[in-house]
Amino acid sequence: MTKNIRIIVVVSFALLGILCIASGIMYSSLESNSIEEKILVVVEQKQVSAIDDVELKLKNLTIEINTPLSVKIVDYLDIAVSNEVLANLKLDTSSVNVTEVGTYTYTISYNEKTYQGLIIVKAKEEPVNTMPTITLKTLNIKLGTALTTDLANYVVEPLTDEIKATMTLDLSNVNVNLPGTYQYTINYNNSIYTGNVIITEDQPTLSTGTKEEEPTTTDPSLETTPDITTNQTTTTN
C-alpha cells in the first residue's frame, strides 16, 4: 500500500513538472509574439511621420520692375518635393510690389511652419548702345522754315527710340530767318558731333511774256545729304 502511494506521488510530481514546463513554453511564445507586434507598430509610425519631417528651402528671386509674379509654387522652391507635399503648400506674395524698385519678402506655409524668401525688384536695364559712332547730315531748308527736333532727320544711321533717348541735339546756333550756313551739334556716347544747316532764299520766277511757268513743287527743306566732309567729332569726358 505504501508503495502505491509513493508511485502515485511521484507520478503526480512528474505530471506537475511537465505541466509547468509546458506552461512556461506557452508563456514565452506569447511574450515573443507580443514583442514582435510592438516592433511592427513602431516601424509603421515612423513611416507615417516621414512626410511631416519635410524642411523647405526657398529661392531668392530677382525680377525687373512691372514683371508679373509667378503663381506656381514650384518656381519658388529650391528643393524638389513630392506632389503630396506640393498640394499642401500655401504661397503668400501679398507684400511684394512689382511696380516699385526694392527688396521684398514672401512666405510659403506648410505643416504649421512658415518659410521666408526674398524677391528683389530692380529697375529695367538700359539697352547697350550698338553704334560706336554716328554720321550727321547737311540740311538744306528755306528761309523761315522751322527746324525739326526729330533726331532721325539729322543722323544718317537708323536710330531706335532707346538710342535717341541717349542723344542731345543743339540747334541754338541756327538762325532760320537769315540765309547762310550754320552748325548744329549732337552729343552722343560721350562725343560731340557737328553738322551743317544751310538756309536759302526763294529765287524769283522769271517771266517769258508768253506763258508763266509752274513753280517747282519740290520742297528744299526735305533735301538732306550726309555731311561726311564737314562732320566733326569732339570727345567729352
Q: How far apart are CA 48 and CA 122, in angstroms?
A: 44
Q: How far apart are CA 220 and CA 229, in angstroms?
A: 21
Averaged pLDDT, 14-36? 61
Are 158 and 231 found together in one domain? Answer: yes
Are 35 and 93 found together in one domain? Answer: no
Return the CA Rg of the chain: 48
Are 143 and 198 found together in one domain? Answer: yes
pLDDT given at position 13 = 63
Residue 157 lies in a domain: yes
pLDDT given at position 73 = 95
CATH number for the domain including 141?
2.60.40.10
CA distances from 71 to 59, 61, 117, 154 (A): 14, 14, 15, 48
Q: How far apart are CA 108 and CA 97, in angstroms?
A: 17
Are 103 and 58 found together in one domain? Answer: yes
Are 111 and 147 found together in one domain? Answer: no
Are 192 and 143 found together in one domain? Answer: yes
The residue from 30, 49, 68 where one domain ends is 49
Are 37 and 94 found together in one domain? Answer: no
pLDDT tens column, 115-144: 999 999 999 886 665 678 999 999 999 999
The yes-or-no verdict on residue 146 having pLDDT over 90 is yes
pLDDT given at position 229 = 42
Pairing relationship of beta strands 61-64 and 113-122 according to DSSP bridges: parallel
Q: Coil, strand, or helix at residue 128? A: coil
pLDDT given at position 124 = 87
The yes-or-no verdict on residue 170 having pLDDT over 80 is yes
Percent pLDDT > 70 in the chain is 62
pLDDT given at position 129 = 58
Is 72 exposed, middle or buried (CB count within 10 Å of its CB: 0-12, 13-18, 19+)? exposed
Residue 229 lies in a domain: yes
Are 110 and 173 found together in one domain? Answer: no
pLDDT given at position 149 = 93
Most confident by average pLDDT, 49-53, 90-94, 199-203, 206-210: 90-94
Are 36 and 63 found together in one domain? Answer: no
pLDDT given at position 132 = 86
Residue 155 lies in a domain: yes
pLDDT given at position 16 = 65
pLDDT tens column, 48-88: 444 567 889 999 999 999 999 999 999 999 999 999 999 99
Instruction: Give me the sign of the Cα torsion angle 167, 170, 174, 180.
Output: negative
Residue 25 lies in a domain: yes
pLDDT given at position 53 = 72
pLDDT given at position 150 = 94
Averaged pLDDT, 206-233? 49
Of 146, 104, 140, 142, nearest in space to 121 by CA: 104
Are 118 and 62 found together in one domain? Answer: yes
Averaged pLDDT, 104-124? 95
**Comparison of pLDDT for 84 and 1, the residue scoring more:** 84
Residue 130 lies in a domain: no
pLDDT given at position 46 = 41
Name the residue range of residue 17's domain: 2-49
Residue 158 lies in a domain: yes
Confidence of residue 8 (pLDDT cuts 50, 70, 90): low
pTM over 0.75: no
The residue from 11, 33, 49 where one domain ends is 49
Q: Please tell me the total count of domains within the chain.
A: 3
Question: 94: which residues sit within 8 A by CB, 6+ positions away?
Answer: none
Cβ atoms of 117 and 108 closer than 8 Å: yes
Residue 210 lies in a domain: no
Residue 128 lies in a domain: no
Are 173 and 147 found together in one domain? Answer: yes
Instruction: Give me the sign of the Cα torsion angle 25, 27, 32, 37.
Output: positive
Are 169 and 222 found together in one domain? Answer: yes
The yes-or-no verdict on residue 180 having pLDDT over 50 is yes
